[in-house]
């Protein structure tokens, strides 16, 4: 590109958008890339602080910021995402439908570590609504090396960096453990809490039961729940509430293991919810152990994991172990989760 003094720029084409900012009124491109500067534009350009103008001249092996943004957007744009037009060298992605916002965080970090390229997303692994902004991409310099974009493409070779997964799971089984609730000595407060959280994601509780504290009774309830899910249309999950601590009467973890489910994790670096357990039965049905704190705490690790489970995403151990930095709920007087740092998967 060539740098031309403003007085000599008349008749030349702009190399990039020129942004004008008027506090409280506007922030946007006053002059677009390719615009031919006229004599009458000079006062406006001076008021924008433009004493010199970049005019177009592309060198071999370099890509203009708009082309670079298009290339980055192509790497990011996955299912159920929509792309904006390029403005001021930046492209934004939006949710096409309600769903779970999935991000390849490691790939995003690696691309940003290259330098001169920016891939910026909203908080990943959360529920999003149709029309919500998901991400923005931009090349930092006006021209970026083609080799840099090739390296970014190599990093993203396993698929798009950003996707919205629809909420496909439609059914749930809720098993409330504990002799105190099974006998009626204590009112079951757990089932209403869990069913309400599930309903927020369109999941219907088709089977619920109160068991005692024995491993056998919990195991039977899980098997009955599996049978109920097989009869229902749509995916499903099974939640076992309570009995997750280290007390000798707490048998839920042992019962979950006896089902033959593959345990992903038991014990996560998150407060509240440290005794959470996630496993998968044959066929990929999630079987989770929900600690008692979910009954009286508004937000726990279960709330962080639920959007992913509702979308049928198969979670891994590392999804939970990396929660530690940010895994402490601050018990804010007014809870704004998930618009906070708590337990980001």
Return the SS3 of 64: strand
pLDDT digits (tens, 9 = 90+) for 164-188: 999 999 999 999 998 888 888 888 8
Closest to 219 in 3D by CA, of 175, 172, 155: 175
Beta pairing partners, 204: 171
Residues of the chain with CATH 3.90.1150: 62-165
pLDDT at position 56 is 65
CB 148 within 8 A of CB 65: no
Closest to 204 in 3D by CA, of 168, 172, 240: 172
Closest to 104 in 3D by CA, of 81, 132, 80, 125: 125
Residue 31 host element (H or E): strand 26-31
Closest to 294 in 3D by CA, of 313, 275, 267: 275
Question: Residue 49 phi/psi, 5° resolution?
Answer: 80, 20
Alpha helices in 114-166 (DSSP H): 146-155
Collect the ranges in the chain with pLDDT lower than 50. none
pLDDT at position 249 is 64
Class at the top of the CATH hierarchy for domain 169-321: alpha beta
Closest to 238 in 3D by CA, of 258, 212, 261: 261
CB 194 within 8 A of CB 239: yes
pLDDT at position 248 is 63
Residues of the chain with CATH 3.90.105.10: 2-55
pLDDT at position 1 is 63
Q: Which CATH superfamily is domain 2-55 in?
A: Molybdopterin biosynthesis moea protein, domain 2 (3.90.105.10)
Bond preceding residue 152 cis, omega within 30 of 0: no
Rounded Cα–Cα distance for residues 242 and 239 (Å): 10
Residues of the chain with CATH 3.40.980.10: 169-321
CA 186, 187, 190, 193 dihedral sign is negative
Rounded Cα–Cα distance for residues 32 and 30 (Å): 7
Rounded Cα–Cα distance for residues 317 and 183 (Å): 36
- Domain covering 62-165: architecture: Alpha-Beta Complex (3.90)
Rounded Cα–Cα distance for residues 181 and 174 (Å): 14
């Amino acid at each position: 590109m060539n740098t031309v003094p403003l007085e000599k720029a008349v008749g030349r084409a702009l190399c990039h958008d020129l942004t004008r900012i008027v506090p409280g009124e506007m922030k946007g491109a006053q002059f677009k890339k390719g615009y031919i500067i006229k004599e009458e534009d000079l006062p406006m350009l001076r008021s924008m602080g433009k004493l010199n103008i970049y005019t177009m001249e592309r060198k071999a092996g370099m890509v203009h910021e708009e082309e670079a943004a298009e290339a980055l957007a192509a790497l990011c744009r996955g299912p159920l995402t929509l792309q904006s037009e390029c403005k001021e060298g930046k492209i934004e992605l939006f949710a096409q439908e309600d769903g779970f916002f999935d991000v390849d965080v490691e790939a995003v970090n690696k691309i940003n570590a290259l330098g001169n390229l920016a891939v910026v997303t909203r908080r990943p692994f959360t529920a999003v609504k149709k029309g919500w902004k998901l991400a923005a991409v931009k090349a930092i310099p006006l021209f970026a090396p083609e080799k840099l974009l090739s390296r970014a493409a190599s990093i993203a070779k396993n698929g798009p960096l950003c996707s919205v997964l629809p909420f496909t799971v439609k059914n749930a089984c809720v098993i409330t453990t504990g002799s105190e609730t099974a006998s009626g000595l204590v009112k079951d407060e757990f089932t209403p809490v869990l069913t309400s959280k599930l309903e927020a994601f369109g999941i219907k509780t088709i089977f619920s039961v109160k068991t005692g504290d024995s491993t056998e009774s919990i195991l039977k309830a899980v098997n009955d729940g599996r049978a109920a899910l097989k009869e229902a249309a749509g995916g499903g999950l099974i939640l076992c509430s309570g009995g997750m601590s280290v007390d000798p009467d707490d048998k839920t973890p042992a019962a979950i293991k006896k089902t033959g489910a593959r345990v992903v994790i038991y014990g996560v670096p998150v407060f509240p919810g440290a005794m959470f357990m996630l496993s998968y039965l044959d066929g990929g049905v999630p079987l989770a152990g929900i600690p008692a704190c979910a009954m009286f705490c508004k937000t726990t690790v279960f709330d962080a994991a639920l959007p992913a489970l509702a979308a049928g995403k198969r979670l891994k151990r590392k999804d939970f172990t990396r929660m530690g930095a940010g895994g402490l709920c601050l018990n804010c007087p007014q809870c704004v989760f998930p618009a906070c740092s708590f337990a980001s998967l």
